[in-house]
């Protein structure tokens, strides 16, 4: 539902908004189709020697080239030295590229237009820099374990939400001309032991949770996939014929190529025959061991790898290159990853970051309309998370420290901040206009925080929780978080401030859920603002919400539990054999556990009423069979049911609502979760206005994976249709009988 695009900004806000540069435009090139791309690829392939082919599939080696991954050029077909570069929230290692909102924050906007635009802007910057393959977006980790270090690079532990977000991102990126790389495929849910551990995922769980969003990525015509470090059911992802050949290439009919995560390849022959198409970076990190290159050539000559397999690798790689039109005047990479330099490619893309910083904020608590603020006399702003780190936002390589305000996690999925607007920066600007006095305590010392807060009308306490990739350990967190508490004694800071100030507002920047119990019911904590991982425009987006320039419209993309144990999943040592259908809200629903804030929850400054549910159409029961397209059996993607609901803004100000549709499968579907997200809209409405939420259910949305039949099956019986403002605030129900 994208129709209701009424302006959200109140008049006071318009002046601030219009100070922004003009809206940046999305690049919309036609992406070709695979059949045309394959015709071109076949003709080029016929002109290549075995040597040429080997150089197309083998990286030049670690740090042997400007990009984090490179392959050799083949002049005879006009094929360039391919440049592969991270990452999912911006171009890594370039100063002057945009630091967008992180994936998890993009998900919390539930705004498909913004998500697609973000993808498009990411791709446009990559293209300007001559990057052919941008290493993202991320659907693995999915987020099974709330402390998983890289969850924030992806979107949500709900596979439907992640599936929509990854597809929109890929389409946006590829329309800009860059090849997307869906990663990390698959079952890489934690950092601890990621390069040795096995993820032993049962077939149905694989399909309904972990494979689901990757299916969307294939359907969106992702040019490439990155196989992950871990093993799946006993064999390494990058040589696992079951997941590469059978699931991805046969079942999902993936036409693009699979490249390895960096040094995730273990064998020459096994990986080639298992379905790997390109090895990255082409050597190990000591620049010694080279598993393809001459070794692959010998394996072909010795007959262990068929020539046709190498042709298939090359055909896939060339087809992807043609698909996005990179054979036509594509720029050459001129930046250098190993010496970070300035390249101003951000243009006006900050408009997307600002909008996401604002619309991804989830308001969790707002006693007696404490927010929005209206020209308060005095405010105390407290916490190291309120300011840019004194050493600078980019002081630590790959953001591997947590000193000032948190706007992205750490690791390869980061970008350099071109600038970073911290909460205090933006609050000061607003305070100046309002004549508000500001006192500060910009460290995390509880006593000093309380002193600053004591005599202020409001105290804004900023706390955070960081995580990242396991090659950097930050304050004892080896990638994965050690717990679900805020860093730097954030709970004590909030409690000390709330003890002396009756209007304490907590602002949280976090990579994922935190336990809020120590203060959530404290009557002096009048508001809790979940500000996520917003990217370079952090403070500006926050002020938009704190002062009511926009009504909050973000919704939680995961559950916030009362106790860490409630999630039922933990980082493990060794292999992980605990995989079931019940992660995040699916578990809370099934086990009847009351969360603190459920999946999909978020308050607004206005109210929405739901009415007039309509349900039209029904699927035929049974397995999906027949012709395949990218993404699997074609009929799985057919819209089979349309649900609509009337949404009315019954409150006093403009706002946006995210009506969500959940399906409960009939009891003939064995052991299915009580309800599963299968649709959402983001509807912007002026006070008093109404709009229609429209949910198109595809056949897949009403199916479960039947392992015995190896098919997506629509069960018979009554399907429950629940439409509501969160996974537990259901306003309308109906049913579909099949
Ligand atoms: C390893 C990470 O897992 C992957 O996400 C990244 O793209 C590569 N390193 C290259 O930096």
Answer whether residue 12 shows pLDDT above 60: no
Q: Are 732 and 611 in contact (CB under 8 A)?
A: yes
The domain over range 33-341 is classified in CATH as 3.20.20.300: yes
Cα separation, 443 vs 464, in Å, equals: 12
pLDDT digits (tens, 9 = 90+) for 615-668: 999 999 999 999 999 999 999 999 999 999 999 999 999 999 999 999 999 999
Best residue among 412, 413, 471, 480 to mutate for probing ligand 1's pocket (most ligand atoms within 8 Å of CB) is 412
Q: Are 174 and 325 in contact (CB under 8 A)?
A: no
Q: Are 165 and 214 in contact (CB under 8 A)?
A: no
Answer whether residue 332 shows pLDDT above 70: yes
Q: Which CATH superfamily is domain 606-737 in?
A: Immunoglobulins (2.60.40.10)
At 523, is the pLDDT very low, low, confident or very high (cuts 50, 70, 90)?
very high
Q: How far is the CA of 577 from the centre of ligand 1 (A)?
A: 25
The residue among 289, 287, 290, 229 whose CA lies nearest residue 260 is 229
Nearest residue (by CA) to ligand 1, atom 6, is 412
Cα separation, 729 vs 528, in Å, equals: 19
Least confident of 6-10, 295-299, 517-521: 6-10
pLDDT for position 334: 86
Q: What are the DSSP E strand ranges found in 575-659?
A: 608-616, 622-623, 628-629, 632-633, 639-649, 655-657
Answer whether residue 82 shows pLDDT above 80: yes
pLDDT for position 438: 98
Ligand 1 atom at minimal distance to the Cα of residue 188:
3
Nearest residue (by CA) to ligand 1, atom 9, is 262
Buried b (16+ CB within 10 A) or exposed e, 588-615: bbbeebebbbbbbbbbbbbbbebeebeb
Answer whether residue 197 shows pLDDT above 60: yes
Is the CB of 262 within 6 Å of ligand 1? yes
pLDDT for position 18: 32
Q: Which residues are catalytic?
A: 261
pLDDT digits (tens, 9 = 90+) for 370-416: 999 999 999 999 999 999 999 999 999 999 999 999 999 999 999 99
Q: How far is the CA of 262 from the centre of ligand 1 (A)?
A: 6
pLDDT for position 504: 99
Average pLDDT over residues 475-496: 98
Nearest residue (by CA) to ligand 1, atom 11, is 412
Distance of alpha carbon 270 from its chain centroid, rounded?
A: 31
Cα separation, 381 vs 437, in Å, equals: 11
Q: Are 51 and 294 in contact (CB under 8 A)?
A: no
pLDDT digits (tens, 9 = 90+) for 459-476: 999 999 999 999 999 999
Reduced to 3 states, what is the DSSP secondary structure of residue 662?
A: strand
Reduced to 3 states, what is the DSSP secondary structure of residue 676?
A: strand
Percentage of the chain modeled with pLDDT above 70? 96
Answer whether residue 675 shows pLDDT above 90: yes
pLDDT for position 22: 44
Is the CB of 135 within 6 Å of ligand 1? yes
Ligand 1 atom at minimal distance to the Cα of residue 86:
7
Mean pLDDT of the chain: 96
Quote the tokens at residue 682.
């983001």
Q: How far is the CA of 284 from the centre of ligand 1 (A)?
A: 13
Q: How far is the CA of 334 from the centre of ligand 1 (A)?
A: 21
**CATH for the 349-558 domain, from 3.40.1190.10, 3.40.190.10, 3.40.50.1700, 3.40.50.2000:** 3.40.50.1700
Ligand 1 atom at minimal distance to the Cα of residue 183:
5
pLDDT for position 23: 54
At 571, is the pLDDT very low, low, confident or very high (cuts 50, 70, 90)?
very high
Q: How far is the CA of 136 from the centre of ligand 1 (A)?
A: 9
Cα separation, 318 vs 278, in Å, equals: 12
At 30, is the pLDDT very low, low, confident or very high (cuts 50, 70, 90)?
low
Average pLDDT over residues 92-103: 98
Cα separation, 195 vs 148, in Å, equals: 15
Answer whether residue 301 shows pLDDT above 60: yes
Is the CB of 261 within 6 Å of ligand 1? yes
Average pLDDT over residues 144-158: 98
pLDDT for position 25: 77
Kindly list the domain boundaries of the chain, sorted by start residue: 33-341, 349-558, 606-737
Let me know how long the chain is: 738
Average pLDDT over residues 147-153: 98
pLDDT for position 559: 99
Q: How far is the CA of 68 from the centre of ligand 1 (A)?
A: 9
pLDDT for position 4: 29
Listing DSSP states for 134-167 in one string gives E---B-SS--SSTT-TTGGGS--SSHHHHHHHHH
pTM: 0.96
Q: How far is the CA of 281 from the centre of ligand 1 (A)?
A: 10
Q: Are 106 and 73 in contact (CB under 8 A)?
A: no
Nearest residue (by CA) to ligand 1, atom 1, is 262
pLDDT digits (tens, 9 = 90+) for 274-288: 999 999 999 999 999
Is the CB of 86 within 6 Å of ligand 1? yes
pLDDT digits (tens, 9 = 90+) for 220-250: 999 999 999 999 999 999 999 999 999 999 9
- Give 710's DSSP letter: T
At 32, is the pLDDT very low, low, confident or very high (cuts 50, 70, 90)?
confident
Is the CB of 153 within 6 Å of ligand 1? no
pLDDT digits (tens, 9 = 90+) for 38-50: 999 999 999 999 9
Is the CB of 109 within 6 Å of ligand 1? no
What helix, strand, coil percent values describe the chain, rounded to 5?
Answer: 30, 20, 50
Is the CB of 398 within 6 Å of ligand 1? no
Distances (CA, A) of 617 to 21, 130, 290, 693, 697: 45, 47, 56, 17, 10
Answer whether residue 179 shows pLDDT above 50: yes
pLDDT for position 350: 98
């Amino acid at each position: 539902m994208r129709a209701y695009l009424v302006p959200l900004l109140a008049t006071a806000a318009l002046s601030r908004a219009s100070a922004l540069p003009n809206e940046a435009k999305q690049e919309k090139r036609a992406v070709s189709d695979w059949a045309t791309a394959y015709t071109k690829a076949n003709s080029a392939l016929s002109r290549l020697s075995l040597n040429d082919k080997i150089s197309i599939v083998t990286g030049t080696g670690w740090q042997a080239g400007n990009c984090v991954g490179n392959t050799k050029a083949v002049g005879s077909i006009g094929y360039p030295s391919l440049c592969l570069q991270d990452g999912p929230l911006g171009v890594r290692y370039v100063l002057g590229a945009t630091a967008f909102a992180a994936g998890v924050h993009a998900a919390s906007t539930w705004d498909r237009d913004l998500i697609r635009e973000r993808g498009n802007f990411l791709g446009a910057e990559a293209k300007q820099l001559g990057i052919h393959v941008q290493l993202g977006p991320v659907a693995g980790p999915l987020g099974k374990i709330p402390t998983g270090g890289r969850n924030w690079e992806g979107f949500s532990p709900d596979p439907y939400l992640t599936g929509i977000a990854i597809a929109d991102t890929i389409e946006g990126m590829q329309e800009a001309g860059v090849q997307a790389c869906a990663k990390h495929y698959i079952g890489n849910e934690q950092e601890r032991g990621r390069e040795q551990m096995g993820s032993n995922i049962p077939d149905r769980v694989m399909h309904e949770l972990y494979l689901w969003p990757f299916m969307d990525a294939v359907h969106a015509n992702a040019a490439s996939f990155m196989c992950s470090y871990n093993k799946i059911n006993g064999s390494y992802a990058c040589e696992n014929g079951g997941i590469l050949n059978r699931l991805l290439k046969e079942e999902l009919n993936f036409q693009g190529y699979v490249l390895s995560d960096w040094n995730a390849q273990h064998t020459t022959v096994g990986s080639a025959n298992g379905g790997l198409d390109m090895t990255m970076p082409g050597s190990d990190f000591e620049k010694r061991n080279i598993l393809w290159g001459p070794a692959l050539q010998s394996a072909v000559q010795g007959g262990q790898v068929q020539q046709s397999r190498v042709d298939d690798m090359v055909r896939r790689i060339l087809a992807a290159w043609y698909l996005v039109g990179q054979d036509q005047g594509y720029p050459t990479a001129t930046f250098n990853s190993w010496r970070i330099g300035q390249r101003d490619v951000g243009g006006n893309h900050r408009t997307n970051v600002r909008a996401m910083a604002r619309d991804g904020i989830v308001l969790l608590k707002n006693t007696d309309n404490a927010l929005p603020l209206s020209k308060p006399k005095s405010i105390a702003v407290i916490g190291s998370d309120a300011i840019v780190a004194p050493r600078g936002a980019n002081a630590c390589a790959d953001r591997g420290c947590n000193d000032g305000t948190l706007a992205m996690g750490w690791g390869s999925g980061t970008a350099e901040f071109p600038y970073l607007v911290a909460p205090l920066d933006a609050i000061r600007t607003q305070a100046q206009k309002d004549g508000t006095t500001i006192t500060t305590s910009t460290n995390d010392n509880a006593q000093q925080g309380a002193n600053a807060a004591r005599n202020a009308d409001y105290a804004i306490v900023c706390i955070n929780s960081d995580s990242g990739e396991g090659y950097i350990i930050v304050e004892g967190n080896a990638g994965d978080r050690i717990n679900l508490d805020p860093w730097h004694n954030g709970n004590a800071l909030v409690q000390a401030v709330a003890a002396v100030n009756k209007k304490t507002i907590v602002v949280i920047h976090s990579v994922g859920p935190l336990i809020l119990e120590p203060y959530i019911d404290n009557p002096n904590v009048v508001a809790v603002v979940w500000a996520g991982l917003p990217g370079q425009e952090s403070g500006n987006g926050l002020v938009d919400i704190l002062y009511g320039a926009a009504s909050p419209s973000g919704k939680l993309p995961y559950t916030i539990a009362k106790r860490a144990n409630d999630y039922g999943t933990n980082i493990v040592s060794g292999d992980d054999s605990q995989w079931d259908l019940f992660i995040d809200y699916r578990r809370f629903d099934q086990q009847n556990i009351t969360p603190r804030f459920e999946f999909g929850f978020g308050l607004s400054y206005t109210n929405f009423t739901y009415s007039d549910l309509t349900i039209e159409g029904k699927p035929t029961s049974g397995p999906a069979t027949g012709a395949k397209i990218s993404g699997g059996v074609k009929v799985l993607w057919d819209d089979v049911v349309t649900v609509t609901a009337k949404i009315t803004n019954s409150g006093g100000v403009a706002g946006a609502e995210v009506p969500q549709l959940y399906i409960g499968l009939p009891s003939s579907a064995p052991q299915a979760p009580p309800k599963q997200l299968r649709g959402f809209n983001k509807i912007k409405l002026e006070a008093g206005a109404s709009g229609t939420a429209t949910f198109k259910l595809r056949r897949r949305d009403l199916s479960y994976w039947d392992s015995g039949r190896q098919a997506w099956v629509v069960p018979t019986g009554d399907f429950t249709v629940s439409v509501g403002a969160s996974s537990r605030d259901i306003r309308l129900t109906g049913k579909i009988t099949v």
